[in-house]
A and B are shown apart, each in its own frame.
Chain A
Amino acid sequence: DGGITQSPKYLFRKEGQNVTLSCEQNLNHDAMYWYRQDPGQGLRLIYYSQIVNDFQKGDIAEGYSVSREKKESFPLTVTSAQKNPTAFYLCASSIASPLAGGPTDTQYFGPGTRLTVL
């Protein structure tokens, strides 16, 4: 899992609540990503950020929000607008960003947060 930490490991949410998942990296990576993993499916990209104070929507951004105020941190908020939030959430980071010009952008993953709606 390298230098990427995610907390908490397990999270329970009641209907109508917003919850925030933490992701921190000490790898000095420019780019960070949030994925959602459901059983039997591949990873789906929620949001990504290639530089501080900038982020872009991925394929399934509705009902989620992010911020990137520090290079090391990329928290994900699951809002009450997300109708089916129960899933395993994975954060990743990579060296490459368009500004850095890196060609290989291997992504390194945190241990994940399992979110369950009660």
Chain B
Amino acid sequence: AQSVAQPEDQVNVAEGNPLTVKCTYSVSGNPYLFWYVQYPNRGLQFLLKYITGDNLVKGSYGFEAEFNKSQTSFHLKKPSALVSDSALYFCAVRDAMDSNYQLIWGAGTKLIIKP
């Protein structure tokens, strides 16, 4: 069965420090992986995705994520956090062989950046 885990409900980081939001997944075939961000009372905004190719994916707002097949992980990273990065972050996965195109979503990680 397909699944996504975001092991941390909340991550606290000081402004200017690097940040990491963790995501691990389980699929039968090759994964398509996504990160989205949600600000309060707003819809989700697409940040980045991994489909194939380079394991390091760069996305919007200076975020990047590294695909690690052996550890089945897709952690979101940013070298220097901003207070405006504070939001709820969701990881999602789809099995490339899955014909119904549905995404499996993690429960979300609340990121708090302190000035």
Q: Which A residues are within 8 Å of any B CB, using their own CB?
A: 1, 4, 6, 31, 40-45, 48, 50, 56, 58, 88, 90, 92, 94, 96-98, 103-112, 114
**How long is the Cα–Cα vector from A59 to B32 in the complex, in angstroms?**
20
Residues A31 and B101 in contact in the complex (CB < 8 Å), given A104-B51, A109-B45 = yes
Residues A98 and B99 in contact in the complex (CB < 8 Å), given A43-B105, A114-B41 = yes
Q: Is the interface of B mostly helix, strand, loop or mixed?
A: loop
Contact code string B24-38 (vs A, CB < 8 Å = 1, else 0): 000000001010100
- Which chain B residue has the least Cβ–Cβ distance from A44? B105
**How long is the Cα–Cα vector from A17 to B32 in the complex, in angstroms?**
40
B60 in the interface (beta carbon within 8 A): no
Q: What would 19 A/B residue contacts be, using CB atoms closer than 8 Å?
A: A40-B9, A40-B107, A40-B108, A41-B107, A41-B108, A42-B90, A42-B107, A50-B101, A56-B100, A90-B44, A98-B99, A104-B49, A105-B101, A105-B103, A106-B49, A108-B46, A109-B43, A110-B43, A111-B43
Q: Which B residues are within 8 Å of any A CB, using their own CB?
A: 4, 9, 32, 34, 36, 41-46, 49, 51, 90, 94, 96, 99-103, 105-108
| Minimal beta-carbon separation of A12 from chain B (angstroms) | 16
B residues less than 8 Å from A58 (CB atoms): 102
> How many contacts A-B (CB < 8 Å)?
63
- Partner of B102 from A4, A45, A88, A109 at Cβ < 8 Å: A45
A residues less than 8 Å from B106 (CB atoms): 42
**How long is the Cα–Cα vector from A110 to B41 in the complex, in angstroms?**
11
| Minimal beta-carbon separation of A68 from chain B (angstroms) | 15
B residues less than 8 Å from A94 (CB atoms): 101
- Partner of B42 from A48, A50, A98, A112 at Cβ < 8 Å: A112
B residues less than 8 Å from A1 (CB atoms): 42-43, 45
Are A48 and B102 in contact, CB atoms less than 8 angstroms apart? yes
- Which 6 A/B pairs are nearest by Cβ-Cβ distance? A109-B43, A42-B105, A109-B44, A42-B107, A43-B105, A111-B43
- Which chain A residue has the least Cβ–Cβ distance from B48? A106
Are B42 and A96 in contact, CB atoms less than 8 angstroms apart? no
- Which chain B residue has the least Cβ–Cβ distance from A58? B102
